């Protein structure tokens, strides 16, 4: 039953109170005396249930911020999975993914660098993973834009450019993960690769329509052939992705209506181009696919700028003085025991009514 407004109100209060353990009351660059009094432990999305820990309130701030960003992706996924999504709900999906991207970016730029202990390789707060989350949020928000542009029958050139930019986002996110251990990134990477192929197929398909409208039928046929090639590759990657074991839920994009529609569109558009060429144009089909140098002037997604709220008014010199650091627990070790595992929380209310084709949550 939680919505973005409720989430923002609750987390703003939490973050404003937590800031009192980090920032000094006089706004100096000196750390608050409470920053290192408590040990915080968090598990990670890819590393199983053994937590990482740091005795640092900044670690709690960025870990909580990371999970709030994940909530926005889950909220978007839940809405996108509804049977009959309305225009307002589509806007909420779009906005939630941009908010999530903004939170991830703020953590990466402004707070993770302040951690005293460097983040371990492959943990959620590591730069490569944070960057992948930012880029994928942007890509999935752009998918909403593309679906809307197709629904409203916008210019094929714009749709081709948006699809091309989205494919590039997915390729970039995949490259970010390429230097991490395949044991926990291979499934994620398969998803990113299939989405990159899928949107390259979309881009070549709509670029072909643009070429046909400019009486370049031979080039249009070659563009559609390239689209067909990418679509077949995306189908193969869907199968590989479904069979790959790894952290996270498994989406089923190949069974999604948006995916199936593209297959029919590519086939029908290619047949139309071939007919037109046989009756009217008689143009040679180039051996090489056209180079896509497309730049979308509209519809590109940027993260919504995020800032943590200011220090709560409850933090006063008297409040700070009331903390007696001599009474803190003596055995609060920052290193978790090797066998220590945290049981995952059940999430019974986030299942979408149908698969949305989106994977980030």
Can you give the CATH number for the domain in which 96 is found? 1.25.40.280
In a domain, 56, yes or no: yes
Question: Does the reported pTM lie above 0.85?
Answer: yes
- Identify the residue with better confidence: 102 or 85: 102
**What string of H, E and C letters represents the secondary structure of the chain?**
CCCHHHHHHHHHHHHHHHHHHCCCCCCCCCCCCCCCCCCEEECCCCCCCCCEEECCHHHHHHHHHHHHHHHHHHHHHHHHCCCCCCHHHHHHHHHHHHHHHHHHHHHHHHHHHHCCCCCCCCCCCCHHHHHHHHHHHHHHHHHHHHHHHHHCCCCHHHHHHHHHHHHHHHHHHHHHHCCCCHHHHHHHHHHHHHHHHHHHHHHHHHHHHHHHHCCCHHHHHHHHHHHHHHHHHHHHHHHHHHHCCCCCCCCCHHHCHHHHHHHHHHHHHHHHHHHHHHHHHCCCCCCCCCCCCCCCCCCCCCCCCCCCCCCCCCCCHHHHHCCCHHHCCCCCCCCCCCCCCCCCCCCCCCCCCCCCCCCCC
According to the model, what pLDDT value does residue 353 have?
Answer: 54
The domain of 97 spans 4-318
pLDDT at 245: 86
pLDDT for the residue numbered 209: 95
Is residue 356 domain-resident?
Answer: no
Percent of the chain with pLDDT over 90: 67
Q: Is residue 231 domain-resident? A: yes
Q: What angle do CA 86, 89, 93 make, to 5 degrees?
A: 135
Contact assessment for residue 120 and residue 52, using Cβ atoms and an 8 Å cutoff: yes
Domain-located, residue 88: yes
Q: Is residue 296 part of a domain?
A: yes
Q: What integer pLDDT is reported at residue 72 of this predicted model?
A: 97
Q: Read off the pLDDT band of 336 (50, 70, 90).
A: low
Has residue 148 been placed in a domain? Answer: yes
Residue 196 lies in a domain: yes
CA-CA-CA-CA torsion sign (154, 158, 161, 165): negative
Q: What is the number of structural domains in the chain?
A: 1
Q: Which of 168, 157, 7 is nearest to 95 (CA)?
A: 7
Per-residue model confidence (pLDDT) at position 332? 55
Determine which of 87-91, 117-121, 146-150, 291-295 has the lowest per-residue pLDDT on average. 291-295
Q: Evaluate whether residue 92 is within a structural domain.
A: yes
Bridge partners of 41? Answer: 53
Residue 252 vs residue 218, higher pLDDT = 218
Mean pLDDT is highest, among 188-197, 248-257, 280-289, 331-340, for 188-197
C-alpha angle with apex 314: 311 to 318, nearest 5 degrees? 110
pLDDT at 221: 93
pLDDT band at 81 (very low <50, low <70, confident <90, very high): confident
- Please give the mean pLDDT across all residues of the chain: 88
Residues 277-320: pLDDT tens digits?
Answer: 888 878 898 899 888 877 877 778 999 999 999 999 999 999 99
């Amino acid at each position: 039953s939680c919505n973005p407004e409720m989430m923002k109100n609750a987390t703003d209060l939490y973050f404003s109170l937590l800031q009192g353990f980090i920032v000094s009351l006089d706004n100096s660059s000196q750390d608050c005396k409470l920053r290192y009094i408590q040990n915080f432990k968090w598990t990670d999305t890819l590393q199983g249930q053994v937590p990482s820990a740091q005795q640092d309130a900044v670690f709690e701030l960025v870990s909580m911020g990371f999970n709030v960003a994940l909530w926005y992706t889950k909220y978007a996924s839940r809405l996108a999975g509804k049977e009959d999504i309305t225009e307002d709900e589509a806007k909420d999906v779009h906005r939630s993914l941009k908010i999530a991207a903004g939170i991830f970016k703020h953590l990466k730029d402004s707070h993770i660098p302040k951690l005293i202990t460097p983040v371990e390789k492959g943990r959620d707060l590591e730069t490569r993973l944070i960057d992948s989350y930012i880029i994928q949020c942007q890509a999935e928000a752009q998918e909403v834009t593309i679906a809307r542009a197709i629904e409203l029958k916008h210019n094929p050139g714009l749709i081709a450019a948006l699809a091309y930019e989205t494919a590039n986002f997915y390729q970039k996110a995949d490259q970010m993960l390429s230097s991490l251990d395949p044991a926990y990134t291979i499934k994620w990477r398969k998803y990113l690769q299939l989405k990159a192929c899928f949107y390259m197929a979309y881009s070549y398909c709509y670029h072909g329509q643009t070429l046909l409208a400019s009486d370049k039928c031979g080039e249009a046929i070659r563009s559609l052939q390239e689209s067909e090639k990418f679509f077949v590759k995306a189908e193969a990657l869907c199968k590989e992705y479904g069979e790959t074991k790894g952290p996270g839920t498994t989406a089923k994009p190949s069974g999604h209506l948006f995916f199936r529609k593209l297959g029919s569109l590519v086939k029908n558009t290619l047949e139309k181009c071939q007919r037109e060429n046989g009756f009217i144009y008689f143009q040679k089909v180039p051996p090489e696919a056209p180079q896509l140098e497309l730049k979308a002037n509209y519809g590109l997604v940027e993260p919504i700028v995020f800032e943590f709220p200011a220090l709560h008014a409850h933090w006063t010199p008297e409040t700070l003085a009331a903390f007696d650091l001599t009474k803190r627990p003596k055995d609060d070790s920052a290193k978790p025991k090797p066998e220590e595992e945290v049981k995952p929380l059940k999430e019974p209310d986030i299942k979408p009514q149908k698969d949305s084709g989106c994977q980030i949550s």
